[in-house]
Structure formats: structure tokens, C-alpha cells
Amino acid sequence: MEHLLPRPDELAFATDLYQLTMMAAYRARPESERATSTFELFVRRLPEGRAFLVAAGLEQALAYLSELRFTGAQVDWLRTLPVFAHAHPEFFEWLRDFELTGSVDAVPEGTIVFPNEPLLRVRAPLAQAQLVETYLLATLNAQTLIASKAARVRLAAQGRTAIDFGARRAHGFGAATLATRASWIAGLDGTSNVLAAQKLGVPVLGTAAHAFIMSYEDERDAFAAYHRHYPDHCVLLIDTYDTLEGCRRAAAIGPSLKGVRLDSGDLGELSRACRAILDERGLTKTRIVASGDLNELKIAALLAEGAPIDSFGVGTELVTSRDQPALGGVYKLVERTEGDRRIPVMKLSEGKVTWPSAKQVHRVLDADGRLVRDVIELADAPAPQPPPGGRVEPLLQEVMRDGRVTAPADATDVHAARARCAAQLASLPEGLTRLEGYDPPPTEIGPALQTLADELRAARGVPDDRRPIDERKEP
């Protein structure tokens, strides 16, 4: 019986086979081995229904990059593959001693990002940079996907509590735990997932299930028993039989009743009726919790109609990002070196330009700290001027140098990331915080990058049949 949970010491195999076959070929070419290549990981287009993304997953990416080793057993197994029958033995010796020696820049977790903005940049020999593509994409795609969805839930719920209830619907428990992390970064208030809560230091929350209520003959006995056990944390699920009668029975507990939970029916109407029942009995501090296939649009609609709901439990829709269950992050070569010469790489196909060379994103904020625009510029070009009283902040920072993690703790700490995301959400112009009908991404290309791109375009002496196509999504 195999749990099939990947172990940290076997993550060198967390890659696509073609990365390994390409590595063997690169290794046999001294020029590609000596050369440094620069890859950037970014999202080319926003999924429909997303005005922005929230970068997440960097801690797991750095844990992977910094500990990446092949075990002897893995190398032996590779040698048995028919595809490697003719591979040079030196390749396998090299794998046994493999360590990443490259350097990495990235945006800190919780940063709001837009299309074409690098979330992460790897500078390393080609074979190294190629190997890590798959895991980096899987890790950053997954958490950024969920953090971006969770941020919408956060915006929709306004000041109300919003909790991750999705463990049972995520794509396995590994995905559930990543979803909790991403949701916390994006500002949700806790989770029902005990393992994730313990690992992350996130509040763990829960009430009771219908099975508990139904294990008693009488709902009142179930309520009394739950209150006896959890006198200071008594949130009662009231919709097992008749919701309003359940609410009255729960209210009989008295003012120590912390909350009632609705999990079905018309949540707007029921919450208003429950609020009236509770208030009538003086239980003005008893909270109303709602759950049941909620998403950000339903939450916004409930609050717009004045539903007096204090806390939302969000499950399936959150942890699978149900309306957009995949993020199309890509990892593209943007520069290579030949000797001392840096050669920017640019894909030029119609409508799918990949911007060349290593880049920085300069966030321009006005005097009130509000986001004005992002300028995507060559990493070594000057930053744009700040507006009067405002400032300009670079988003990418060094997180790994020569194979050693150099990230400041707050780049990956979930609580720091959460604070960063909250501040950045607050800095967004209103046109980007709408759930629907939001503005396009406020990004522009810096002058140095534009000039380089224009030069490369103009100087494209390569014949038309050498123009690379673009936007590759799968191995």
C-alpha cells in the first residue's frame, strides 16, 4: 500500500522526462554547459475572471531548488531506461554530484502581479535551468492559482470572516494543503484543514456536521451536548431539520452561543430571519456562519442584498479555483551568454511576443500609496521617475545566489506574505478590485526594453522560416 505522497528527497524526479534527455544532450556540448541561460517564469494572459494574480509558492520553490539532489537509486533507475541506452556515462556521474549553482530572483509571496511580469527568474547553466522547469511551474502555478481566487473571495467578503473549508474537494491532500497556504496569504481567516493549520501556524476552525446532530434522537439534545463540550466555542449547525426552528432551539442556549451555521437554502433570507430570532432573544453577539458551494460572486450577491452573515466557509470553488482551474504560467529562455557576451532572446511571432532579456518590474505608487502602474523594464535599466510625492518599488529581488538561499525571511513567510497581499489589495485602484467589469492590467513596457525589442525586431536578419513560434504549454 503506497501513499503516493512525494518525498522531499526524491524531488529531483519531479520533472518531465524530456528535461532529463535534453540535459544529457546539453552536457555533451561544452558551449551550452559553460553558457549561462536566463529563464523567466510568468503568465502571459490573465484567466478570464481575474483582474490580477497573487504570487505564491516561492517558499516551496526555494526548498526544492536548494535541496535538489539525485539519489543513487534514482540515477541507477535512469540508466535502465532504454532512451538512455546510448547516453554517455559521464552524464550519470554528473547527476550523482548534481547541485544547483544558479541564482534566482523572484517577487516576494503575496505580491500582486500582472501578465508578462516575471514571478521568478533563474540564471544557471542551461542543463540546470531546464531540469527545474516542471517543478517550478507546478509549484508556482498551483499556489498562485488558488491565491488569486482567494483574493477575490477576500474582496467579496469585505470585512467578514472567510474560511477555507475545501480539503475534501482539493486534488488530493497535498493540493488541499497548498490551497490553505495560498488562501491564508491572500487573506482568508483560517482553515478547517488541521494538518495545514499546524504546519503553517494558521487558525484552525470548524463547527460540527449533520452526522453529529443526527446521532441524537432530538436536535435539542445534540445542541446541549455540543455546548456542554465546547461552552466557549459553540457554533451550532441549525439546518439539519428545520432551519428556523433549529435557530430557535440554538438560541435557547443563551448568550454563550457563539454562532449558528447555515449550510443550505436561501442563505440571504435565512440569515435575516435567524438574525431576527437571535436579536429578539438578546443574542446580538451570536454570529451567523454560512457555507455550501459558496464562491466570491455568491458572497458578493449576499452582502449586496444585506444578508447579515458574519462568516463564510468556502470549499470546492476555492480549492479547485473552479471557474478557472488551471493557470498557464510559462518558463521561457530570455537571455543566454556566449563567453562574456549577453544575448537577449526574443520570440517574435505575431501577437505572442515574449519580451527579451532579464527584466525588473517597477511598481509606481502615488502619494497615497495607490498603484498607478507597473513598468516592465530591463533589469539593468534605470527605474521610472516616481510621481510627485509617490514612489517606485522594484518587485523582483534576489532570493538565491550560487545555489544558496538568500531570500529575506519576509519574502516567503506566510504571515509576512499575507500582510503584503493585504497592503497591495488596499493599494489597488477601484477599477481592479471589482469582481466583474474590472479594468485591464495597468502595465507598460519601459523605454529601454521597448528599444531593445524594437531593435531585435528590426534586426531580425533571420529568415522567416527561422522565426520561432510561441506559447508552448506542454512537454
Alpha carbon of residue 94 to chain centroid? 34
DSSP designation for 47: P
Cell numbers representing residue 419 in the block:
500582510
Contact range with a copy of itself by CB under 8 A, out of 115-123, 200-208, 366-374, 388-396: 200-208
# of chain residues touching a copy of itself (CB under 8 A)? 135
Among 147, 176, 274, 299, binds a copy of itself (CB under 8 A): 176
On the CB side of 128, CA atoms within 13 Å amount to: 26
Q: Is 238 an interacting residue with respect to a copy of itself (CB under 8 A)?
A: no
Cell numbers representing residue 42 in the block:
510568468
Q: Is 306 an interacting residue with respect to a copy of itself (CB under 8 A)?
A: no
Supply the minimum distance, in Å, between the C-beta of residue 237 and a copy of itself.
9
Letters for 105-134 (x = contact with a copy of itself by CB under 8 A, - = none) are ---------------------x---x--xx
* Angle between helix 89-96 and 72-79 (nearest 10): 160
Among 111, 321, 357, 424, binds a copy of itself (CB under 8 A): 321
Closest to 125 (Cα-Cα) out of 60, 42, 29, 43: 29
Closest to 62 (Cα-Cα) out of 118, 11, 7: 11
Q: What are residue 262's phi and psi, to 5 degrees?
A: -105, 135
Among 36, 161, 316, 427, binds a copy of itself (CB under 8 A): 316
Rounded CA separation 21/87 (Å): 9
On the CB side of 95, CA atoms within 13 Å amount to: 25
Rounded CA separation 383/361 (Å): 9
Letters for 13-42 (x = contact with a copy of itself by CB under 8 A, - = none) are xxxxxxxxxx-xxx-xx--x----------
Interactions with a copy of itself, residue window 337-356 (CB under 8 A): 345
Cell numbers representing residue 141 in the block:
502555478
Q: Is 189 an interacting residue with respect to a copy of itself (CB under 8 A)?
A: no
- Specify the residue, 243 or 371, whose C-beta has the smaller distance to a copy of itself: 243
DSSP designation for 391: E
Among 46, 95, 122, 138, binds a copy of itself (CB under 8 A): 138
What CA–CA distances, in Å, run from 442 to 279, 372, 395, 403, 433? 46, 7, 15, 34, 13
Letters for 404-443 (x = contact with a copy of itself by CB under 8 A, - = none) are -x------x-------------------------------
Q: Is 293 an interacting residue with respect to a copy of itself (CB under 8 A)?
A: yes
On the CB side of 181, CA atoms within 13 Å amount to: 27
Q: Is 48 an interacting residue with respect to a copy of itself (CB under 8 A)?
A: no
Q: Is 315 an interacting residue with respect to a copy of itself (CB under 8 A)?
A: yes
Supply the minimum distance, in Å, between the C-beta of residue 130 and a copy of itself.
6
Closest to 375 (Cα-Cα) out of 439, 455, 430, 450: 450
Interactions with a copy of itself, residue window 217-236 (CB under 8 A): 219, 225-226, 229-233
Among 36, 69, 94, 175, binds a copy of itself (CB under 8 A): 175
Closest to 289 (Cα-Cα) out of 200, 190, 376, 371: 190
Q: Is 43 an interacting residue with respect to a copy of itself (CB under 8 A)?
A: no
Interactions with a copy of itself, residue window 66-105 (CB under 8 A): 66-67, 74, 77, 81-83, 85-87
Residue-wise burial string across 46-85, b where 16 or more C-beta atoms lie within 10 A, e elsewhere: bbebbbbbbbbbbbbbbebbbebebeeebbeebeeeeebe
Q: Is 3 an interacting residue with respect to a copy of itself (CB under 8 A)?
A: yes
Among 254, 255, 282, 325, binds a copy of itself (CB under 8 A): 325
Q: Is 158 an interacting residue with respect to a copy of itself (CB under 8 A)?
A: no
Cell numbers representing residue 86 in the block:
546510448
Supply the minimum distance, in Å, between the C-beta of residue 389 and a copy of itself.
38
Q: Is 135 an interacting residue with respect to a copy of itself (CB under 8 A)?
A: yes
Among 34, 45, 93, 241, binds a copy of itself (CB under 8 A): 241
Supply the minimum distance, in Å, between the C-beta of residue 474 and a copy of itself.
4
* Angle between helix 296-304 and 133-157 (nearest 10): 10
